Chain A
Amino acid sequence: MKILVCISQVPDTSTKIVLKDNNTAINNQGVTFVINPYDEWYALVRALELKEAGIASDIHLVTVGKADTEPVIRKALALGGDEAIRIDADSHDPYETANYIAEYAKTVGYDLILCGKESIDYNNGAVGAMLAELLDTDYIGFASDIQIEGNTATVKREIEGGEETDTCSLPVVIACQKGVAEARIPNMRGIMAARTRPLKVVTPGTVGSVTEILSYELPPAKAGIKMVSADNMDELVELLHAEAKVI
C-alpha cells in the first residue's frame, strides 16, 4: 500500500507577522519555517505507524514550493518516509496547489493520501477535499483516528457535538487532526538517513490560479484592558451586559 503525505511549509506558530511592499506581502525575513503541525504530528506520524505495522509499503511526502522549502521537507524525511517530492511552484491558491499534487499523484497511484486538517498560514483546509475531487475519491476531514484493514479505512471524525465513525474503500484522502497519532521528535539516525533519501523535484504542468491575494492587514491593537476587582463580579457582569453587550 502506498501512502502520500502532503506537507506544507508554514511560519512557526510564534512568528510575529510583519507586512511589506505596501501591505501586499508578508516579510519573511527572520521567520523560522516549520512543517505545518497538523501535517507533521498527525498525518505523517500516522503514515509512519502504518508502515511500522506492516500495512503500508511506501511513504512518499509531497510539498508544493520553491527550493527554499527543501530544508522543511528534509526535516519531514528525518521523521521517516521513503522519498520526498517537491513540486516546483509557488502557490498561495489551494486550487492550484491541489491540482499540482493531483497531477503528480495520478502518475503513481496512491491508496491513501493524508494531510493535516488545515495549514496554519492560510487556514483554508481546502487542499485535501479538492484533491479527493480531482482524483475522484472519497474524502474524510477532521479525522481523529484512522485504521486500515485490507481495502477499507475506518475513520473517526469530528462532527458537531460529538464524533462519528465512518468507513470507506481505498483510495481515500483523509485530513488529520489531534488524536490520529502522537507527535514524534526526529532522532539523529533519522536526520542522517534523511540526507540519503531521494528528494525529487517535479516541474508541474500549467494550472493557473483562480484566486489572488491583493493585500494583507494586521488586526487593530486591543483597545486597552479594563481590570475589575476580584471582589466585584457584579461589576464584571454589568460591563459584559451594558458595554460589551455579550450577555
Chain B
Amino acid sequence: MSVIVLVEHTEGNIKKKSLEAVQYAAGIAQKTGTTVSAVVLGTLADSEMENLGQYGAQKVLHVADARLDELHARAYTSALIAAAQKEGSKIIIALHDINGRAVAPRLSAKLKAGLVAGALSYPDLDKGFVIKKAVFSGKAFAFVNITSDVKVITLMPNTFQLNKGEGKATIEKLDVNFGDKDFGVKVKEVNLIKGEIPLADAQLVVSGGRGMKGPENWGLIEDLAKELGAGTACSRPVADAHWRPHHEHVGQTGGTVRPNLYIAVGISGAIQHLAGVNGSKTIVVINKDPEAPFFKAANYGVVGDALEILPRLTEAVKNFKQNHK
C-alpha cells in the first residue's frame, strides 16, 4: 500500500526537487499509515539511491533500463503503473515540472485517478483528500478534493524546505515489459545551454526589463547573477526585441519561476509579467519610476537608475560573501 514517488536524476545525481517530492511522499505516507517506495528510472548508482532513505523512502524500485535516461513519457507511465501494482499503491507522486507534467496526466487517465497538478500543501484528510494549488496564475488558490480511489499528485518544486534525516533505503530491481509504443518518441538532438542554471529550478533569479536600455548592458545583470549563483531572466518586450533569448522570458506567455529570490531590474511589472513570478518568496524591484506597479508586489524596493545600482549591488554581494566565509 506504499506511496509511489517518481524520482528524477541527472548526471548521476538525484535532483534536489525530487528529494522534496520524496519528503512530501513521506509526509503523506505518515498521514495515511503507510510507507514510501521511490521509483528510479534509468541509470543511477545504488549509493545515490540509498540516500533517499534520508528523506523518508523505505524502498527504491529501480528500473535499470538505460533507455529511460531520456524522458519517454509512455515508458515512464508503464513503469510507474508496474510499481504501483507491485506495491498495491493508491497514491502516486511526481513533480510539477516538464517530466512530471508529461507522465502524471497519463497515469490519471489510465488509472481513472484524480489529479492535483501543482500541489502546494499536504492533503487535508479531514475533508476527504483536499490539496491546495495555485489557480489563475497565482492570483488565487483552490482547494481540490480527489474523490477517486487512486490519486495522482504533482508537487510544485521549491514548496517545502528539505529536512535531511537518517536512514538508508533498500533497493529492489523492477523489471518492466515495455512495448514498442513506449518508445515511440525518438530524441534526435539535445541542446543544453552551457553554464546556465535552468530557470524553472533556480533558487535565485536576476531579471532585466526595458529599463536596461539595451542588450549591451546585460553584462551588469550577468555579473550580479554570477555573484549570487542565480539564473537570469527577462521580461517579454526584451525577448521580443531579441535583446535576450526567448527561453529567458518569464511571464504569462513565457516561463514561470518560483525562486526564493527574484530581483527585477528595470521591469515595470505588468500583470502578465507578475503571473510568471508571483510564486517567488521574496521580490526585489529596482526601477527608476517610483510609480512602477511592480513595487506593489515587492518586498524590497530601490528607486534609481538600474545601470548605476547594479554594479553597486554586485559589489555589495561580493563584500557580503567575503565577510561570511
Contact = CB atoms under 8 A, between A and B. Distances in A.
A185 interface: no
B221 interface: no
Interface string B131-150: 01111111111111111100
A163 B4 CA distance: 29
A14 B271 contact: yes
A123 interface: yes
Interface in A91-144: 93-95, 98-99, 120-134, 136, 138-142, 144
Interface in B107-124: 108-110, 112-118
A226 interface: yes
Contacts of B172: none
Specify the main secondary structure of chain A where it touches its partner: mixed
B66 interface: no
Contact of A123 (B71, B137, B295): B137
A168 B115 contact: no
Nearest to A231: B312
A239 B137 contact: no
Contacts of A142: 98
A120 B192 contact: no
A163 B105 contact: no
Contact size class for A? 35 or more
A53 interface: no
A216 B141 CA distance: 5
A38 B137 CA distance: 13
Interface string A140-169: 111010000000001000111111111111
* Secondary structure call for the B interface: mixed
A219 interface: yes
Contacts of B136: 11, 15, 17, 120-121, 123
B144 A212 contact: yes
B325 interface: no
A227 B142 contact: no
Nearest to A239: B300
Contacts of B271: 13-14
Nearest to B275: A13
A214 to B, nearest CB: 5
B301 A226 contact: yes
B193 A167 contact: no
Contact of A167 (B74, B106, B186, B298): B186
Interface in A46-84: none
Contact of B299 (A154, A213, A225): A225
Contacts of B117: 94, 123-126
14 contacts: A14-B271, A16-B139, A162-B247, A165-B188, A165-B189, A209-B147, A211-B147, A218-B141, A222-B296, A227-B301, A236-B284, A238-B320, A240-B300, A241-B324
Given A133-B109, A166-B186, 6 more contacts: A125-B117, A210-B108, A210-B146, A213-B144, A236-B302, A246-B204
Interface of A: 11, 13-17, 19, 26, 37-38, 41, 93-95, 98-99, 120-134, 136, 138-142, 144, 154, 158-169, 177-179, 209-219, 222, 225-231, 233-234, 236-241, 244, 246-247
